[in-house]
Amino acid sequence: MWSGGVRGDGGLDRAARARAVRLCRACPVRVDCLVDAMPVARMRDDTTIVGGLTTPARARLQRLVADGLHAPASLAGIPPRMVRMWLLAHPDAPDQACRQTQAQWSGAKRRWRAARARPAPTVGVPASSVMVQGELDLGW
């Protein structure tokens, strides 16, 4: 587990986080570390890297494991040894969870940018329905 990567001004040190991810991914006890990190309890802990995964990626991995074991998403009642066995049988699952999380954030950013690029809708009555006094012919 690696915690930190916060600069003095409160921003994230992306280079330090990238080094931590590389270090964790090469670690021989990565699977045990990931098993200990489940279930993911908090989603706001953005500075902790466990097993080479951020908190959102670990939550995604937890859902993948739960689906694979046909268990509840919280993994309640599932012994850690079963989670470990599943992770050992699916060594690509942590990287898959990371890719899915990155794709989700990329899609969200794309939608946000597209929404900002669209012109704001006009509020009010369309110009074609505006009537000038005296134009209305009631046939009287």
Per-residue confidence (pLDDT) for residue 37, from 0 to 100: 87
Q: How confident is the model at residue 3 (pLDDT cuts 50, 70, 90)?
A: low
- As a dihedral over the C-alpha atoms of residue 44, residue 49, residue 50, residue 51, rounded to 10 degrees, the angle is 140
Q: How does the average pLDDT of the chain come out, rounded?
A: 81
What mean pLDDT do residues 120-133 have? 59
Per-residue confidence (pLDDT) for residue 43, from 0 to 100: 61
Environment class of 6 (CB within 10 Å of its CB; exposed 0-12, middle 13-18, buried 19+): middle
Q: DSSP character for 127?
A: G
Alpha-carbon gap, residue 30 to 12, rounded angstroms: 23
Per the confidence metrics, is the pTM higher than 0.85? no
- pLDDT tens per residue across span 64-91: 999 999 999 888 889 999 999 999 999 9
- pLDDT tens per residue across span 41-53: 666 656 788 889 9
Backbone phi, psi, residue 53, to 5°: -120, 145
- pLDDT tens per residue across span 99-126: 999 898 888 888 888 888 877 666 665 5
Max Cα–Cα distance, the chain, nearest Å: 92
